[in-house]
Amino acid sequence: MSLNQRWIKAKETIAETLKGTHHEQLQDKRLPPGQHWTPGFPVLDLGIQPEMDMKTWKLKISGLAKEQELSLADLKKLGPQKVVQDFHCVTSWSKKDVQWTGIPLKKILQKVKPDPSWKFLIQYGADNYSTNVPREDVEHDDVFLVYELEGKPIPKEHGYVRLVIPQLYAWKTSKFLIGLEFSKTDKPGFWEVRGYNNHGDAFKEERYS
């Protein structure tokens, strides 16, 4: 069994262990198929949790946009907002009503003004993670770059700073976020090249390829 197959098998084992009931799904339309609500906030990552100082952190903008680096202070000038969203992991757990503080991605797009020809947003993390999202999924009003969780700075185990895209599984947003690339071509990321679905819509149960 290859390393990629072992990774996917391990995730499937976790999903089977945490699997919710069909009754629970029928009773709650907020819950995507195959998911169950969890009271906690499990931590899943690549086994790498880099130290990051948000006072010196910079977000690198690249690709079909003017190359630049934005600090957290730069982003806060765009108007922080609190948002409450459900959070869905591909391993079958969902967390209800997570409170984030962050910046609507639409405001960041307005600031960096990418070329109209861009079709994919590629995210890069300080842990060497990457993931790809189609343009139509990131232009919704409920997509945010977040840096606080429940009113406090996001702790290291949850990645300090990330995007949240509530209709997609959580692997489609990079923790430890350090870069956004606007691309005309698709660039499948860490899990996508290892057998995960290239889109990852939680409500269509797009888990694996």
Is the four-CA dihedral 171, 173, 178, 181 of positive or negative sign?
A: positive
The pTM (predicted TM-score) of the whole model is: 0.87
C-alpha distances (whole Å) from 77 to each of 15, 19, 66, 81 are: 40, 42, 19, 11
C-alpha distances (whole Å) from 175 to each of 7, 132, 154, 155, 163 are: 19, 13, 10, 11, 8
Question: Token pair 């509530």 is at which residue?
Answer: 166
What's the pLDDT score for residue 108?
99
What's the pLDDT score for residue 146?
99
Q: How far apart are CA 82 and CA 99, in angstroms?
A: 7
What's the pLDDT score for residue 45?
86
Report the amino acid identity of residue 52: M
Q: How far apart are CA 147 and CA 81, in angstroms?
A: 11
- DSSP class of residue 201 equals B
Q: One digit per residue, pLDDT tens: the chain, 209 residues? A: 554 555 555 555 555 554 544 445 455 889 999 999 999 999 988 888 999 999 999 999 999 999 999 999 999 999 999 999 999 999 999 999 999 999 999 999 999 999 999 999 999 999 999 999 999 999 999 999 999 999 999 999 999 999 999 999 999 999 999 999 999 999 999 999 999 999 999 999 999 98
Q: Do 143 and 193 touch, CB atoms closer than 8 A?
A: no
Strands (E), the chain: 36-37, 58-63, 68-71, 81-88, 93-104, 120-125, 130-134, 144-149, 152-153, 162-164, 177-183
What's the pLDDT score for residue 24?
54
Going from N- to C-terminal start, the domains of the chain cover 3-204
Strands (E), 11-80: 36-37, 58-63, 68-71
Size of the chain in residues: 209
What's the pLDDT score for residue 22?
47
Q: How far apart are CA 93 and CA 36, in angstroms?
A: 5
CATH number for the region 3-204 comes to 3.90.420.10
What's the pLDDT score for residue 47?
86
Contacts 24+ apart (CB under 8 A), 18-24: 18/91, 18/92, 18/93, 19/92, 20/92
What's the pLDDT score for residue 88?
98
